[in-house]
């Protein structure tokens, strides 16, 4: 369908893409991957003609319609959300006008056997076929379904587009592109401004999409669930795999291992040839052989080893100092700005050692709660307080913008590091993918992803017992996210995190607070369980917009009300039971970890090393013992509920 032949893009003396070739076939769903700055966005711009190559060409057949979503776009202005979205059907309306014109012309003509008449009939059938494809339901209903799927509320569809943020305007543009049903979709980071539910909806849509797709994303789960092919850009070249992302990663490891072996063999051959040349350079009897070896080396195509995956790097947050049992608690909390209430009546409790996610669509109050936790914003009413001895490490959404742009990467950490940690700064930076000359770069020249990694590295310098992270993975590539996730999984403090990345949250958190329609709701369990429940609720919500409620007799209504009350009572009991079981599981895990720490200290006390501080070890042991006793008592108490209830 689309061919890319001998494509080269160079800027001055730097070659970004070097003689690349690949073909986009019908129904291909391609994940375009590579480190930030590798040239992924450039390829999309080349395909849709927004940029010209230095050499080579992109061949797009005539009549092929391309839909392109860039990372950055202009705000929409002058229309409501629904009216702006309906402009996606301009092509369909043009076809309807053409259909009317042809129908009228055919009615007026009588040259039924002529070539012109037959051509009009053919064109009439073509238009009818395409319109029957696009008109499975009315354009308005299609637009509403798509906008609601992407996170808009039904009552927001008539609001002016300029009253929405850049992220919401991106959703409008994405809706228009999807509704126009192009032959080829080019999507550059489409999930950047989407919440989890919108990502799930888009994923489902793209799975069923009939055209070709080229997708740039740092969301591993999104790539795995949609794509059937992965094209990697590495050092200006491409590697094409007919598999989804996770399988590609396995094959990539094999490729790099083969490259290394070939590189080492070639280096041995080069070394032997150079030794031969040096040894016999001035011997007339060997001059022909020497010249032959020199020419051979000059013509030799040197093997390059692609950059290795750094996800195996291990980085750890400093051990968390002990805090009180409750890290953060909010009671009947109402928060807002001026007269605008963002959410009300919220009750939230985060215990020491818990890892909790704040989820929900943008603008519902997740960042607002973070500001309350950090005491940057006073509640309108209710109470919000952190626990005893809680020391918070905070990552704000704009954290990377707060960095001093005149400092180098190394200076950013060196200015705040104290004590022994100063000797480990290079190791910390390496774990966040800053190596070699990277550490001497000025912050001003770093990409958004690099600044995000640097801001996160700063949090490694001090021992916090509560990490409050607001969208820490924005702008991070998959490798950086893997490193951060492993560090957070091994972190022994408390975590409160705002994120829309399902793969990142999976296996990291076991409790969520959902911000929705001005309320905050607790969900116990994993992200996957939460999404399954929300998927059913969302389907019901959509149906309410398109199916008017039927009138029911009063008797039926009363029966339904009674059954609803019974259901709600059972639901409450079920939720309390799940909360109890989750707490038991958490306590069992904590007790096991505490006992392990105590055994380590017991071994040290039994056979102390010269550098061991016996007093400090004893103090730490007694603290752990008190904690173990309290946790064990709570565990016994919760477990006894099983016996009293006969379970």
Cα gap 249→599, rounded to integer Å: 39
- What is the pTM for the complete model shown? 0.72
Cα gap 334→380, rounded to integer Å: 5
pLDDT in tens, 622-640: 778 877 887 887 788 777 6
- Per-residue pLDDT at 467: 96
Token code pair at residue 618: 């004893």
The answer to whether the beta carbons of residues 471 and 497 sit under 8 Å apart is: no
pLDDT in tens, 442-454: 988 887 778 888 8
Q: What are phi and psi of 390, to 5 degrees?
A: -85, 125
User: Which class for 484: exposed (0-12), middle (13-18), buried (19 or more C-beta within 10 A)?
Assistant: buried
- Per-residue pLDDT at 556: 43
Token code pair at residue 58: 């992109």
Cα gap 515→363, rounded to integer Å: 9
Single out the residue of 503, 502, 523 nearest to residue 512, CA to CA. Answer: 523
Q: Which of the residues in the chain have pLDDT under 50? A: 311, 545-561, 569, 572, 643-644, 646-647
- Per-residue pLDDT at 307: 64
Token code pair at residue 229: 């092919």
Cα gap 95→86, rounded to integer Å: 15
The answer to whether the beta carbons of residues 417 and 359 sit under 8 Å apart is: no
Percentage helix, strand, coil for the chain under 3-state DSSP, each rounded to 5: 50, 20, 30
Q: What is the dihedral of CA 468, 470, 471, 473, to 10 degrees?
A: -40
**DSSP secondary structure code for residue 615 in this structure:** H
**DSSP secondary structure code for residue 155 in this structure:** G
497, β-bridge pairs: 357, 469
- Per-residue pLDDT at 552: 41
Single out the residue of 180, 182, 200 nearest to residue 191, CA to CA. Answer: 200
């Amino acid at each position: 369908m689309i061919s890319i032949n001998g494509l080269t893009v160079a800027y001055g003396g730097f070659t970004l893409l070097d003689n690349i070739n690949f073909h986009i076939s019908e129904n291909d769903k391609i994940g375009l991957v590579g480190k930030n700055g590798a040239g992924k966005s450039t390829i999309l711009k080349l395909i849709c003609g927004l940029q010209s190559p230095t050499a080579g060409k992109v061949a797009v057949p005539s009549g092929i319609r391309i839909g392109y979503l860039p990372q950055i776009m202009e705000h929409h202005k002058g229309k409501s959300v629904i009216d702006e979205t309906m402009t996606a059907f301009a092509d369909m309306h043009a076809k309807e006008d053409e259909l009317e014109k042809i129908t009228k012309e055919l009615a007026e003509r009588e040259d039924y056997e002529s070539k012109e008449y037959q051509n009009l009939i053919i064109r009439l059938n073509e238009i009818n076929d395409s319109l029957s494809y696009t008109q499975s339901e009315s354009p308005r209903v299609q637009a509403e379904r798509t906008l609601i799927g992407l996170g808009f509320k039904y009552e927001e569809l008539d609001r002016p587009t300029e009253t929405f943020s850049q992220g919401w305007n991106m959703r409008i543009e994405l809706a228009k592109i999807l509704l126009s049903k192009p032959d080829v979709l080019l999507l550059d980071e489409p999930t950047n401004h989407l919440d989890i539910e919108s990502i799930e909806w888009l994923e489902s849509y793209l799975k069923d999409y009939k055209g070709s797709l080229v997708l740039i994303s740092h969301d591993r789960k999104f790539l795995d669930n949609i794509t059937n092919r992965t094209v990697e850009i590495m050092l200006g070249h491409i590697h094409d795999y007919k598999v989804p992302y996770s399988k590609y990663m396995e094959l990539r490891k094999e490729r790099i291992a083969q490259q290394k072996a070939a590189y080492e063999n070639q280096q041995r051959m080069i070394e032997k040839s150079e030794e031969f040349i040096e040894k016999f350079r001035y011997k007339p009897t060997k001059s022909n052989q020497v010249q032959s070896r020199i020419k051979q080396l000059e013509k030799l195509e040197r093997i390059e080893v692609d950059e290795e995956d750094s996800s195996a790097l291990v980085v750890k947050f400093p051990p968390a100092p002990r805090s009180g049992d409750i890290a953060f608690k909010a009671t009947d909390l109402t928060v807002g700005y001026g007269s605008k209430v963002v959410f009300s009546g919220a009750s939230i409790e985060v215990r020491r050692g818990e890892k909790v996610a704040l989820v929900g669509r943008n603008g519902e109050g997740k960042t607002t709660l973070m500001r309350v936790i950090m005491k940057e914003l006073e509640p309108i009413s209710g109470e919000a307080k952190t626990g005893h001895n809680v020391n918070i490490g905070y990552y704000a959404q704009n954290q990377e913008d707060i960095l001093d742009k005149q400092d180098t990467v190394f200076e950013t950490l060196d200015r705040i590091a104290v004590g022994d940690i100063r000797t480990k700064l290079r190791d910390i930076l390496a774990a966040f993918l800053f190596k070699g000359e990277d550490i001497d770069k000025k912050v001003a020249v770093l990409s958004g992803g690099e600044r995000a990694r640097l801001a996160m590295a700063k949090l490694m310098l001090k021992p916090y017992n509560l990490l409050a992270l607001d969208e820490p993975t924005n702008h991070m590539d998959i490798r950086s996210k893997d490193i951060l996730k492993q560090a957070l999984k091994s972190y022994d403090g408390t975590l409160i995190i705002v994120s829309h990345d399902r793969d990142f949250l999976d296996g990291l958190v076991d409790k969520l607070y959902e911000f929705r329609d001005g309320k905050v709701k607790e969900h116990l369990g994993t992200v996957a369980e939460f999404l399954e429940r929300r998927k059913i609720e969302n389907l019901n919500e959509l149906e309410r917009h398109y199916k008017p409620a039927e009138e029911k007799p009063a008797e039926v209504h009363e029966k339904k009300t009674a059954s609803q009350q019974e259901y709600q009572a059972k639901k409450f009991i079920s939720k309390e039971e799940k909360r109890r079981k989750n707490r038991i599981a958490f306590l069992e895990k904590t007790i096991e970890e505490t006992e392990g720490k105590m055994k380590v200290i017991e071994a040290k006390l039994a056979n102390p090393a010269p550098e061991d501080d016996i007093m400090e070890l004893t103090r730490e042991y007694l603290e752990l013992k008190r904690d173990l006793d309290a946790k064990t008592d709570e565990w016994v108490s919760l477990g006894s509920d099983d016996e009293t209830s006969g379970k």
